[in-house]
Each structure stands twice: as C-alpha cells, then as structure tokens.
Amino acid sequence: MTALVLDGKHCAAETETRLKAQVAELKSRTGGTPILATILVGGDPASATYVKMKGNACRRVGMDSMAIELPEQTTTDELLSQIETLNNNPDVHGILLQHPVPPQINERVCFDAIAAHKDVDGVTCLGFGRMAMQEPAYGAATPAGIMRLLENYDIDLEGRHVVVVGRSPILGKPMALMMLNANATVTICHSRTKNLPELVNQADVIVGAVGRPELIKASWIKDGAVVVDAGYHPGGVGDIELAPLLERASAYTPVPGGVGPMTINTLILQTLESGLKHLS
C-alpha cells in the first residue's frame, strides 16, 4: 500500500486563491479590509518566525496585519491593557496572541481577555466551550486546520477510533472534541497514560500532539491507519516516527507541509470570516 499524502501545503495554497478573491470582493463592496492584529511578547526566534509567517499569509490574500511587539518583561496587566485596546479598535477583526508567552504572564487570563468575536485563533475558554457544544465559534487553529485537511481528502471519521496523544488547551483537547463532534470514538492520551503503545495500536486515526520528536513509534501503529502529525522539530521531524509508515499507513500528513500550513490557513480563513461579519 502506498499511503495518501495529506498535503497541507497544497490545500492551504488552494484555499488562499479562494480567500484572495473573497477579500477583493469585500474590499470593492465595502471599502474595508480585514485586519489581523498579532501580539508577540519577548524575543523567542521561533515565535517571531511564526508571527511573521502569519502576517505574510494575510498579505498574500490581500488582508492587513498589525504587528504588536512587546518586551520580554511585559506583565500580565500590560498585556491585558494591550488586548483591551485591540478589542476596542473597530478596525481590528482578529487578535492572535502568540503562544507561549514569557513565564511571568498568566497566559490563560490573557487568552480569555480576547473578545469572543475577535478570537480567530480559537484560544478562549468561551470559544472552546461553544465549539464543544457545537455552537458557532472559531475553532482552535491547529485542530480546526487538521479537520479541514481530513475533510479535503474525504477521510471518513464517523465511528472510527481516533487516538489523540496530547491534551494541551490549544491542540489535544480541542482536537479530541472536534473528532467527537465528527462522530468518531475518541481516546485521549497524555503523559500519565500507562499503556500508550497498546492504545495507539487501536487507532484507526492517530493524532500526534506531544511535542516530543518521534515519541510515537511506527511499530505501535496498525496497518491502514490515518496518521496525523502536528509536531515539528528541527530536521523536519514530527511527533510520530513517520518513515516506516509510508508504505503501511492509508494516509499521512508530511512533516513539514502537513499540519503547519493548515494552521496558518485556518487563522486567516477565520480572520476573513470575522471581517465579513463586521464589514458587510
């Protein structure tokens, strides 16, 4: 068996073509342009690169971005004040607070200060709860991007056993709920899970979201599984040992070029959705 490549780069590029046309139409009809405000706190080079890539993606489809950079020693109150300013700015349609923030900041409090209608990265508790209850909300960008990618390739989830390894607020937890809402049977694993290889072996669809290079071994994964790897580590390695699976999986996300481009694409898609609501 040769596995189907779930090509996030291609899927994101195709979506961008459509988004570009929608942004142009919105501009010509209303004179307005959707704007994503990005907040970067501190000088972490990887975070700076991610923020830059998000701004570039906005520009590729004709949207604007407003880059706010705050010093490493920023306090929770200072960040909250910045978020409040953006919440009250009618020209801003989406707010992205780049994760992680420096340790002295209460990240959860700051995420939750983002107005629900501008939470285009899907990081607030309110947005999570609404998504979980299948009410309108912007989904967390990475798991929502994974769902879009699976849908793009007609990967059937109904009744299938999805094993999500990782339970972080922005990835593992919302991923599990999105899969549940798609009628999958879901198992969530984490650092205290005792029998990880056995549980992974039951997966029809395995989602790696652990942040540890190739922690999930190919030998644990059964033939014909769909393999989704959210991880990215230096050297183009993900959270799943992928190479031995290329002949055994039914489908897989490449690293890089799988989940990453869909995350950014979902962020700009949701910014445009917010812009359409507020500019139309």
Q: Which residues bind ligand NAP (CB under 6 A)?
A: 142, 165-168, 170-172, 189-193, 196, 209-212, 215, 230-232, 239, 259-260, 263
Q: CA–CA separation, 106 vs 124, rounded Å? A: 13
Q: Which is nearer to ligand NAP, 263 or 271 (CB)?
A: 263
- Residue 54: Cβ within 10 Å count: 23
Is 248 annotated for ligand binding? Answer: no
Is 167 annotated for ligand binding? Answer: yes
3-state secondary structure 65-117: EEEEEECCCCCHHHHHHHHHHHHCCCCCCEEEECCCCCCCCCHHHHHHHCCHH
- Min dist CB 276 to ligand NAP, Å, is 24
CA 114 vs. chain centroid, Å, equals 17
- Min dist CB 99 to ligand NAP, Å, is 7
- Min dist CB 45 to ligand NAP, Å, is 14
Q: Count H helices and E strands in the chain, helices first.
A: 9, 9
- Per-state percent for the chain, helix, strand, coil, to nearest 5: 45, 15, 40
Q: Which is nearer to ligand NAP, 56 or 85 (CB)?
A: 56
Q: Which is nearer to ligand NAP, 3 or 220 (CB)?
A: 220
- Min dist CB 222 to ligand NAP, Å, is 18
CA separation, residue 188 to residues 126, 169, 177 (Å): 21, 13, 10
Is 236 annotated for ligand binding? Answer: no
Q: Which is nearer to ligand NAP, 212 or 277 (CB)?
A: 212
Edge-to-edge strands, sheet with 4-5? 4-5, 251-252, 226-229, 205-208, 161-165, 185-189
Active site residues: 54, 98, 121
Annotated binding site: 166-168
Annotated binding site for NADP(+): 166-168
